[in-house]
A and B are shown apart, each in its own frame.
Chain A
Amino acid sequence: AQSVTQLDSQVPVFEEAPVELRCNYSSSVSVYLFWYVQYPNQGLQLLLKYLSGSTLVKGINGFEAEFNKSQTSFHLRKPSVHISDTAEYFCAVSARVAGKSTFGDGTTLTVKP
């Protein structure tokens, strides 16, 4: 079975500052990794995904994440955030043979002016 831990439930940050949202996972098999974003009153949408290959993955809206197999982490970063990035962010892991994803509890990113 897989599990996901998002280390911060809430991250407040000022506009134009860098941000890192932390995600650790555990799994006994190879996995795919995802970050999703949920804006208020909307469903989740994919930010980026790691399937294989380069460990640095770039996604939409200027976000990127790095897969670190030795530390079993998949932290999300953005060098300069905007007010519009205020949302809840979910890290998810899927075993390559399972078909379903396990989601973390979410991190609420609040960008202040």
Chain B
Amino acid sequence: DAGVIQSPRHEVTEMGQEVTLRCKPISGHNSLFWYRQTMMRGLELLIYFNNNVPIDDSGMPEDRFSAKMPNASFSTLKIQPSEPRDSAVYFCASSFGGLAGFAGDYEQYFGPGTRLTVT
């Protein structure tokens, strides 16, 4: 298996532009997570999907951020409009497991990340 795939690996954009980050989870995994990592704030969970349904989006910083999971093999995280303070490394992770009654061990497999720089 190729693992979790993220694209692009690096993105440099100007303030005000729309940014779309993409993620392909590991086949067979039913949970998908988007994280943001910065020196100041560490690793933050932005949103969590289970069986393609958003379960917890309490970490999404504001309305400029949106995430979708149209099917089990693809997810996007969009920032519109982008701001310099959005500069960070964004990770996607997937796991097998989920809500009560669904077997799994919740070990998360992380992608290599997208380094976003907003100037």
Contact = CB atoms under 8 A, between A and B. Distances in A.
Q: How large is the interface on A (under 10, 10 to 19, 20 to 34, 35 or more residues)?
A: 20 to 34
Given A34-B107, A49-B105, A99 B98 contact: yes
A105 B42 contact: yes
Contacts of B104: 99
A43 B91 contact: yes
Contact of B50 (A42, A46, A49, A99): A99
Contacts of A42: 112-113
B106 A94 contact: yes
Contacts of B93: 43-44
Contacts of A67: none
A105 B40 CA distance: 11
Q: Most B CB atoms within 10 A — which of A32, A42, A97, A98?
A: A98
A69 interface: no
B108 A101 contact: yes
Contacts of A51: 105
Interface residues of B, number: 28
Give the residue among A43, A46, A98, A103 with the most B Cβ atoms within 10 A.
A43
A99 B110 contact: no
A32 B48 contact: no
Interface in B85-119: 91, 93, 95, 97-100, 102, 104-113
Given A43-B113, A44-B110, 5 more contacts: A99-B55, A99-B98, A99-B104, A99-B106, A103-B43
Interface of B: 4, 31, 33, 42-43, 45, 48, 50, 55-56, 91, 93, 95, 97-100, 102, 104-113
20 contacts: A34-B107, A36-B108, A42-B113, A43-B91, A43-B93, A43-B111, A44-B110, A46-B108, A51-B105, A92-B108, A97-B100, A99-B31, A99-B99, A99-B104, A100-B31, A100-B33, A100-B56, A100-B106, A101-B108, A105-B42
